[in-house]
Chains A and B, each alone.
Chain A
Amino acid sequence: MTQTQADQVLLYIRPGSWDLPSIDPSCLAAVIYLQLTIPGNFSIFECSSPDLSPTGQLPTLIHDHHSVALLLPIIKYISGLDKRRNTGFANTDLDHGMCMVERSKQTAWFAHAETHLGNLVYYMQYSLHSNWVGMTYPAIALMLNVTQRYYIPHKIRDMYKPRLDAAGLWSLPEVETESKKPFRDITPVNEKAANTNVFLRAFEKEKAIDKAKLIFDMYSRILNNPYFLGRDSPSTLDVVVSAHILLLSRPPYPNPIIQQLLLDHYAPLITHAQQIFTQTLGISAPTIHKVTPPRVPWRNLLPSLPVSSKNHTRSADEKRYDRIRWSFFGLVAGCMATYLAIVGRNVEIKIVTIDNSKGQSEEEMEEEDAGDEAGVRAEEGETTQ
């Protein structure tokens, strides 16, 4: 390796579990892509939470003073590396040799995979209650230190809720309904609500399976020959799809509804993903360097500011929140100052010099501030002892 530390490609990802380098499909896809293009020439940095990433998002790639966030921009950056001088990389574009129409098709399929396969993975990991409680929550909690363990997993889960809600895949709570309130009697209304809960849940699973079937069918159809879209070497789309399929098929889901469907009916997809896995993440594949993150538990309790604000332009939302943060600090400082000014009006700080030899000056002082008489007396007493 001829590169210096600054030239090192550093990839920030969510940490892995279940024998996979990352639990997040986008991060996993980024790792696979780098393994296919620049094996051995990059390191990964495991961020237990997105706040540790320089851009605030994961995956993020840092190379040569560039920071690139999200999967597609990372892939584009890496695939352009071989065209730049002095990088020493070759063949970093997996899609070389594709015609423009094929490339554009791939862009569309890429978006489809990220959206729909992504939804399925998130549904399995975060939405299904038993999977969350039995698998994802412990996995995330283990990545965090003791103080963060108790609240961050729920915040991470909340990030996924709007998306799954919009996709109609947010599942209802399964336990919780019972034993929370020992005094609640079973009224017909409650019973009815509980029943509809059961129905809705059953209906929901059917819905999820139907959706999954549609999506898997489609990917089975475009998976002709060894790879997607009829190519004979893995392309970007293969990377993305296999990352999702791996995360659907490999983790030990306590409630494996979609996993079971995949394993039972879509063997080609599994084989394809397995092939990519062996090639990039298996035992014979090149090892991945890891950079261990520093542990700073208490700093994180404050609202975090992204580490490097120079390298990426900041969105309006972020700017606004920065403004709110600063105005909050300003408010606190202002309040303190006002408080001290008001309270401090009645506080007089006096320096009383005590000198036995100059009794006269003491007398003068006593006359001057009758209010401080007591204090002076006390000090007098001390000095006379």
Chain B
Amino acid sequence: MLTLPPSIAAFFALFPLRTNPPIYPPSKKPITAPTLWIIPTNPSHSLSNDVECLKWQAYLALRGLTNIHIRTDVHPEGAIDGRLPNLHVPPSAEKKSDDDGQLLAAHLIPAWVDTQTTTVDPDLEGYIDAAARDESRAWVALLEGTVHAALLFSQPSPSYLERFLSISISSPLSFSWSSDAPTSNAASNTTPSPSLQTLITPPPPPATGVTSLFPASGVRISPTAILTQYRDAIAALSERLGTDQWFLGSSGPTALDALAFAYIHTLIESQSDTLRVEVCRRVNLVGWEKRVRETVDSAFRREAR
């Protein structure tokens, strides 16, 4: 880097001769309370329609935090790595008051929550024993795999116009003779959001077929297989909950409960009758969802805007 000779730097330091007060952005409000950015919600309550956002809403609420603001006007593209939710936390007390605070990606939320409330035992994570903790991993896999696949599958596919508009012309040409290209992709630390290709075992072949010479696109999946697995999963979930207060017999809410709530709530609100009926048939799940929903809903406040 070139550095300016001191005489020139001194000359430049004279300017501007007069400084006017800064021009502030118009619609900016100072952040006062932790604010969760989520995908728009149903106007009647403060719970997001998006499973991923709802998971973190439930997590925050079930960890005992209250009075969290929510903000629904931010497009996912504006979030860190293009994925909501993000948690916007006010600056810590010793910093200046006009500071913007800090924006946290979803995976950093637990660490922030730990600074706010009593930490849970890192070994058992709130479950009754190690076996239950191990089992919780299995349930997470079931919810995030099988149930999520059914949810994705039931969502209507975007129209042709939407798809045309969403094709970003920014993506560079796919031909690549520079070996650096894959490096840059891998270096960026973003994982793609879950899709049917990532959730179904074994990964489904493209809809154009594998043997075809045409470029692969779409996925070929069997709807019956997805629904069979989904029914099994919901039946198992209901059976495992039984009449317990929380999943796996824990004494207090755990991360699994937050996750389960997010899925069960989304399924109950789902547009797809097939999915909804499966949950609504099970009284214990519906009752449990209702109870947890009240807790979660009361922890959030819509930001007045």
Q: Which residues of the partner chain A approach B208 to less than 8 Å between Cβ atoms?
A: 303, 321
Count of interface residues, chain B, beta-carbon cutoff 8 Å? 63
Q: Are B157 and A316 in contact (CB under 8 A)?
A: yes
User: For residue B205, which residues in chain A have a CB less than 8 angstroms away from its CB?
Assistant: 49-51, 56-57, 159
For residue B225, which residues in chain A have a CB less than 8 angstroms away from its CB? 55, 57, 68-70, 72-73
Secondary structure type dominating chain A contacts: helix
Q: Which residues of A contact B200 (CB under 8 A)?
A: 70
Cα distance A288–B84 in the bound complex, in angstroms: 50
Q: Are B216 and A218 in contact (CB under 8 A)?
A: no
Interface presence of B97 (CB below 8 A): no
The one of A118, A200, A304, A321 in contact with B202, judged by C-beta atoms closer than 8 angstroms, is A118
Count CB-based A-B contacts (< 8 Å).
206
Would you call B203 an interface residue if the criterion is a C-beta within 8 Å of the partner chain's C-beta atoms?
yes
Residue A4, interface by CB 8 Å = no
B220 at the interface (CB under 8 A from A): yes
Q: Would you call A260 an interface residue if the criterion is a C-beta within 8 Å of the partner chain's C-beta atoms?
A: no
**In the assembly, what is the distance between CA of A218 and CA of B202, in Å?**
22
- Interface contact B202-A26, CB-CB below 8 Å: yes
Docked Cα-Cα span, A156 to B218, in Å, equals 14
Given the complex, which residues of B lie within 8 Å of A303, measured CB to CB?
Answer: 208-209, 212, 214
Q: Which residue of chain A is the closest to B211 with respect to CB atoms?
A: A300
From 208 to 222 in chain A, residues with beta carbon under 8 angstroms from any chain B beta carbon are: 218, 221-222
A165 to B223 CA separation, bound complex (whole angstroms):
24
User: With the chains together, A168 CA to B222 CA distance in Å?
Assistant: 26
Given known A-B contacts A104-B235, A111-B142, A306-B220, A71 and B201 have beta carbons under 8 A apart: yes
Give CA–CA (A68, B229) in the complex, Å. 12
**B residues less than 8 Å from A118 (CB atoms):** 201-202
Residues of the B chain whose Cβ atoms lie less than 8 Å from the Cβ of A115 = 141, 145, 201
**Chain A proximity of B227: nearest CB distance (Å):** 9
B233 CB to closest chain A CB, in angstroms? 6
CA distance A158 to B219 in the complex (A): 12
Residue of A nearest to B134 (CB): A218
Which of B135, B201, B204, B209 makes the CB contact (< 8 A) with A114?
A: B201
Q: Are A313's CB and B198's CB within 8 A?
A: no
B222 touches A69 (CB 8 A): yes
Q: Closest CB-CB distance, A67 to chain B, in whole Å? A: 9
Q: Which residue of A lies closest to B154 (CB)?
A: A316
- Bound-state Cα–Cα, A193 to B222, Å: 43
Q: Is A152 an interface residue (CB 8 A)?
A: yes
The minimal Cβ–Cβ distance linking B64 to chain A, given in whole angstroms, is 27
Number of interface residues of A (CB under 8 A): 77
Q: Is B138 an interface residue, CB under 8 A from the partner?
A: yes
Known: A108-B240, A111-B146. A172 touches B141 (CB 8 A): no
B138 touches A112 (CB 8 A): yes
Is A165 a contact of B191 with CB atoms below 8 Å? yes
Q: Say whether A50 contacts B195, CB under 8 Å.
A: no
The answer to whether A24 and B236 have CB atoms under 8 Å apart is no
- In the assembled complex, the CB of B214 is this many whole angstroms from the nearest CB of chain A, namely 5
Contact, CB under 8 Å: B222 / A315 = yes
Question: Which chain B residues border A51 with CB–CB below 8 Å?
Answer: 205, 209-212
Neighbour of A315 across the interface among B195, B221, B235, CB < 8 A? B221
B residues near A68, Cβ cutoff 8 Å: 224-225
Min CB–CB distance B273 → chain A (angstroms) = 15
Q: Mark A15-34, 1 if CB is under 8 A from B, else 0.
A: 00000000011110000000
Interchain CA distance A73-B182 in the complex, whole Å: 37
Residues on the B chain within 8 Å of A180, using CB: 177, 179
CB distance from B49 to the nearest CB of A (A): 20
Interface residue? B206 (CB, 8 A): yes
Q: Are B223 and A315 in contact (CB under 8 A)?
A: yes
- Residue in contact with A221 in the complex, picked from B134, B153, B192, B211, CB distance below 8 Å: B134
Shortest Cβ distance from residue A304 to the other chain B in the assembled complex, whole angstroms: 4
Residue pair B138, A315 in contact (C-beta under 8 Å): no
Whether A100 is near chain B, meaning CB under 8 Å from some CB there, is yes
Tell me how far the C-beta of B256 lies from the nearest C-beta in chain A, rounded to whole angstroms.
Answer: 10
Contacts of A173 in B (CB 8 A): 179, 182
List which B83-138 residues lie within 8 A (CB) of chain A.
130-131, 134-135, 137-138
Kindly provide the distance from the CB of A199 to the nearest chain B CB, expressed in whole angstroms.
10
Contacts of B187 in A (CB 8 A): 196, 200
- Is A166's CB within 8 Å of the partner chain B? yes
Q: In the complex, which residues 5-58 of chain B have their Cβ closer than 8 Å to any Cβ of chain A?
A: none
A372 and B177 CA atoms in complex are apart in Å by: 58
* Min C-beta distance of B244 to chain A, whole Å: 11
- Tell me the smallest distance from the CB of B243 to a CB of chain A, in Å: 12
Closest to B202 in A: A26
Query: Does B186 count as interface, using CB distance less than 8 angstroms?
Result: yes
Q: Contacts A76-B232, A114-B201; is A166 near B210 (CB within 8 Å)? A: no
Report chain A residues within 8 Å CB of B68.
none
A-B contacts, 30 of them at CB < 8 A, read: A26-B201, A26-B202, A49-B205, A50-B205, A51-B211, A57-B205, A69-B222, A70-B222, A73-B229, A103-B236, A104-B236, A104-B239, A107-B236, A108-B139, A108-B236, A148-B211, A155-B210, A163-B203, A165-B191, A165-B192, A168-B191, A190-B180, A222-B134, A300-B212, A306-B220, A313-B223, A316-B156, A316-B157, A317-B220, A318-B221
Lowest 10 A-B CB distances belong to which pairs? A104-B236, A107-B236, A304-B209, A300-B211, A112-B141, A108-B138, A111-B142, A104-B239, A112-B138, A69-B222
A residues at B contact (CB < 8 Å): 24-27, 49-51, 55-58, 68-73, 76, 100-101, 103-105, 107-109, 111-112, 114-116, 118, 122, 148, 151-152, 155-156, 158-160, 162-163, 165-168, 170, 172-173, 176-177, 180-181, 190, 193, 196-197, 200, 218, 221-222, 300-304, 306, 312-318, 320-321
- Given A69-B222, A105-B138, A315-B222; 12 other pairs, CB 8 A cutoff: A56-B205, A57-B225, A70-B225, A108-B135, A108-B138, A112-B137, A158-B216, A162-B195, A181-B177, A300-B212, A313-B223, A321-B208
